[in-house]
Amino acid sequence: MKKLLLGLTVLLAVACNENQKNEFSLRGTTNGFENGTVLYLAHKNEIIDSTTIENNLFVFNTKLPSSPVQVWLHNKDFSNYRAFWVENSEMTFDAGKTEFRDAVITGCKTQTENNVLSEQLKPVRDEIIALEDSYSETMTREQMDFLRAQYMLLEKREVEIYQNFIKENPNSLVSVYLLSVYTTTWGKEKTEELYEKFSQDNKDTEYGKQILRYIELNKEPKIGDKFVDFQMEDSKGDIQKLSDIKGKAVLLEFWASWCGPCRHENPALVKTYTQFNSKGFEIFAVSLDEDKDNWVKAIEKDGLSWIHVSDLKGQGNEASLIYGVNGIPDNFLIDENGIIIGRGLDGEELYKKLEKILK
């Protein structure tokens, strides 16, 4: 009986130790924070947990939505913040002698891999900051052109570092996350090349599935190509199909209610639509919103009286993946024969183009 009790005690002790090892905790050190300052731990714009700083120390003991996972740690007004990877283990956040956003974070393998990438990027990022600091409104056109050219070279070096990291670390979660962010920026060919090198574990992650969805959907139609058809629900739940618009010039417009530049362009778009709609012009607008109410309110507020559709999947919108949309606003002008004759046209460019083709 004693042996049985001893055995159970040992098993319970082992189980407790294993539970401790499989639970997330974060012990942090800061400097210069007032007692009672609230810190928030967030994932995908949702607060997971919060805690307060006392004597420049804080602790989180939190259940993570998954592990590893990327989180944001920030104060109420985001004047101090840091994004990093966490996992179910005992982690530390040391900003005792640094700025909050430069804290040294330990205890997570994925974050350690991310630190390696950050060190590789640091020289380029420092040069970019120095270049931005050198900007002056009194610069000549030649100086501005030189500054722009230097900036583009540094951006190219940054991309090379990202892509080399992915190639050299195909098993890292950081790699598959990076590629999921830059799919539409780097294009289908480069995305496929890097994706094929990933381990099966990486391909099975949510990021890997996002990349595969992009590869399977993306057609990257170009000017001179025939448009790629798709269908999607409008705000009333009715199916709208791009090919149902026949014999008209169509602007396939990608936008969202939260996109400032998109909303800024809308008055000019309304003016153009009013001028040319009766002459054979239509707009088929695809929203990258996730919140239906915000989408519908923006349509009403901006007076957008054309066709609107969305699958409410945000950046994962199916049509945006088909067309390889990297940022919004973006658009494709399709002539009455279904041929793409323009892309990324601003208000004035679109107006002039329509004047030519809708005489």
Contact partners, residue 86, CB within 8 Å, separation at least 6: 24, 26, 64, 67, 68, 69, 70, 71, 108, 111
CA distance 28 to 56: 8
**Predicted pLDDT of residue 136:** 87
CA distance 255 to 298: 11
CATH architecture for segment(s) 22-106? Sandwich (2.60)
**Predicted pLDDT of residue 21:** 53
Angle at alpha carbon of residue 178, lines to 181 and 73, rounded to 5° = 90
Q: Please check whether the two domains, 22-106 and 231-357, share a CATH topology.
A: no
**Predicted pLDDT of residue 359:** 76
Q: Are the CB atoms for 29 and 96 separated by under 8 Å?
A: yes
Q: Are the CB atoms for 63 and 74 separated by under 8 Å?
A: no
Helices and strands (H, E) in the chain, number of each type = 10, 15
**Predicted pLDDT of residue 306:** 98
Domain 231-357: homologous superfamily in CATH = Glutaredoxin (3.40.30.10)
What is the DSSP track for 225-260?
Answer: SBPPP-EEE-TTS-EEEGGGS-SSEEEEEEE-TT-H
Backbone angles phi, psi at 209, to 5 degrees: -70, -35
Q: Are the CB atoms for 257 and 289 separated by under 8 Å?
A: yes
| 165: amino acid identity, one letter | F
**CA 267 to each of CA 137, 262, 263, 274: distance values in angstroms, whole numbers, following the listed order:** 29, 10, 8, 11
Give the residue ranges of the chain where pLDDT is below 50: 1-20
Q: Residue 171 corresponds to which tokens in the numbers above?
A: 């098993």
Residue spans of the domains in the chain: they are: 22-106, 111-217, 231-357
Longest dimension (CA), the chain: 98
CA distance 330 to 292: 20
**Predicted pLDDT of residue 5:** 38
